[in-house]
Structure 1
Amino acid sequence: MSGARVLVVEHEDGTGPAQFGERLTDQGLAIDLCRPWAGDTLPRTLDAYHGLLVLGGSMGPYDEDQAPWLPQVRKLLRQAVTWDLPTLGICLGMELLTVACGGEVRHAALPEVGLNDLTIHQAAFTDPLFAPLVDQDSRLRAVQWHWEETATLPEGAVALLTSERCTHQAYRIGTAVWGVQFHPEVLADDIRTWGAADVGPLHALGLEPGAVVAEVEREETRLRTLWGAFAEQWGRIVADGPGPFARQRIPVERLP
């Protein structure tokens, strides 16, 4: 597994790869953390990478005035789909993947914050990333923190998970590109600052930030085990992929 490189795109302070990054590093993958919000320049192409991880953020997928780097992230996501490069978009990352590939994102009628149950579609039982999890546990729970959602999947996308409030919680494009609306990377310490920043929006949903964090704390061990295994499975997919020099080259400028 050593030697595989993953580009990780972080959209704002406090939204890093958290336990996901720790698991990938433990597997021997090299993490190239790009923080465009802090002035880092995104690469023009994914030539040098075995995998792409696009993280969450408080902005929406259309908020280019707030985050002017979003068009380039969408280009990289389209390139990843074209190459079938192992890719994972988390929350905003999934929303950007949806928009980049012709789907639609809208404001959620009922935003999800805190722990939430996920319902498994049949396709997940044979999915390369999700099958090891759903074989072991028919009841998945994950941390949610989103006010946007995918309304229409990209053409050809395979639905994998849903929830009571959000139809599209996870999907796959091709064989190696995934989007998840929930946050498999975070635990209680990671969301504590989110709660402090979102006091008003949480109160509008009838939620207390401290109670949301406490609920995650109570299930911390289970979340760490479940989604840590998910991170490791994605890391294996990255490491076992063909690598950057075996893929067909398509200049990013020619992508739709």
Structure 2
Amino acid sequence: MRLETFADSPRPKVLVILHQEHSSPGRVGQELIRRGFALDIRKPRFGDTLPETMAGHAGAVIFGGPMSANDPDGYVHREIDWIKVPLREGVPFLGICLGAQMMVKQLGGTVAGHRDELVEIGYYPLIPTEQGKALMKWPEKAYQWHREGFDRPAGCELLATGPTYPNQAIRYGQNAYGIQFHPELTHSMLVRWTTRGAPRMALPGAQQRRDHFAGRYVYDQAVRRWLDAFLDLWIGRADGSHVHGIATAAE
């Protein structure tokens, strides 16, 4: 599926923030387009600006990257500071991995590595809380690629946990979500990440490359169903329809 940008269409726009030159919004971008949205892709790391208001956007997603939310780089601080815009205006916001950690920093929380220096690189358990179960059905495992996690700032609701990093999915208010895992992963992204990031599979707790592909075979359909239910809950469709995920939880 071609990723249609906002310049190509008068469709309602979702702001997409990426962190590497050749990064892709992957399946999340594909699914947003299928719901009728256009993608306004920006990369502040390479000089793109961010809007002062979300009046021209239906929502915003900040994706992951190899950098840390604790890095001193100016663009990292600008993104963290900017997150107050969608939070203040109540516009749907989603932070994925680094994006979630940035949201936590904006809310006054902390981001840090595991006390035993364990990482999650591969497929790891995802355990919904009672609040999470009430929203939708969750996959048994989800794809991870991180060596830091986040705590839960005041006002955030825990939706899913895990045995190594206990905060896997949080919600702030009704429209802002932070998730530690990667539902955007496509097969081509998996090939690219496990090729370019092969040295990280030697880190404590990481899975080997073959296990990444085996895990995708087993768990990807459940992750796809979760993403579909989540996007219906989070942002709905560009035509204004908004299907709540409670029905999905009963399937």
Question: Which TM-score bucket, shorter chain as reference?
Answer: 0.7 to 0.9
List aligned pairs for 1:244-255, cutoff 5 A: none
Q: What is aligned with 1:85?
A: 91
Three-state SS of the structure 2 residue aligned to 1:102 is coil
Q: Which amino acid aligns with 2:213?
A: V
Matched, 1:114 2:113: no
Please state how far the C-alpha of 1:3 moved relative to its aligned partner.
3.8
Matched, 1:17 2:25: yes
Q: What is aligned with 2:146?
A: 146
Q: Which amino acid aligns with 1:70?
A: V
Q: Which amino acid aligns with 2:40?
A: D
Three-state SS of the structure 1 residue aligned to 2:147 is strand
- Paired residues of 1:86 and 1:237 also in contact (CA < 8 A): no
2 CA distance for matches of 1:155 and 1:239?
34
Higher RCO, 1 or 2 (CA under 8 Å, sep at least 6)?
A: 1
List aligned pairs for 1:1-256, cutoff 5 A: 3-65=11-73, 68-108=74-114, 109-126=117-134, 131=135, 133-134=136-137, 139-150=139-150, 152-205=151-204, 207-236=207-236, 240=240
2 CA distance for matches of 1:54 and 1:62?
16
1 CA distance for matches of 2:71 and 2:162?
26
Please state how far the C-alpha of 1:143 moved relative to its aligned partner.
0.7
Please state how far the C-alpha of 1:57 moved relative to its aligned partner.
0.5
2 CA distance for matches of 1:189 and 1:217?
14
Q: Which amino acid aligns with 1:124?
A: G
After superposition, the Cα gap between the structure-2 partners of 1:171 and 1:14, relative to the gap in structure 1 and judged at 3 Å, is same
1 CA distance for matches of 2:231 and 2:186?
14
After superposition, the Cα gap between the structure-2 partners of 1:14 and 1:213, relative to the gap in structure 1 and judged at 3 Å, is farther
Q: Which amino acid aligns with 1:87?
A: F
- Of 117-126 and 160-169, deviating more is 117-126
Please state how far the C-alpha of 1:49 moved relative to its aligned partner.
1.6
1 CA distance for matches of 2:214 and 2:222?
14
After superposition, the Cα gap between the structure-2 partners of 1:157 and 1:222, relative to the gap in structure 1 and judged at 3 Å, is closer
1 CA distance for matches of 2:81 and 2:240?
24
- Paired residues of 1:170 and 1:179 also in contact (CA < 8 A): yes
After superposition, the Cα gap between the structure-2 partners of 1:124 and 1:225, relative to the gap in structure 1 and judged at 3 Å, is closer
TM-score by length of 2: 0.82
Please state how far the C-alpha of 1:116 moved relative to its aligned partner.
1.5
- Paired residues of 2:36 and 2:239 also in contact (CA < 8 A): no
1 CA distance for matches of 2:42 and 2:176?
19
Q: Deviations over 1:19-60 (max 9, x none)?
A: 111111111112101122343222333232221111000100
After superposition, the Cα gap between the structure-2 partners of 1:175 and 1:207, relative to the gap in structure 1 and judged at 3 Å, is closer
After superposition, the Cα gap between the structure-2 partners of 1:42 and 1:140, relative to the gap in structure 1 and judged at 3 Å, is same
1 CA distance for matches of 2:132 and 2:220?
24
- Paired residues of 1:6 and 1:49 also in contact (CA < 8 A): yes
- Paired residues of 1:23 and 1:232 also in contact (CA < 8 A): no
- Structure 1 unpaired stretches of 5+: 242-256
After superposition, the Cα gap between the structure-2 partners of 1:237 and 1:103, relative to the gap in structure 1 and judged at 3 Å, is farther
Three-state SS of the structure 2 residue aligned to 1:64 is coil
Three-state SS of the structure 1 residue aligned to 2:190 is helix
RMSD: 2.3
- Paired residues of 2:36 and 2:237 also in contact (CA < 8 A): no
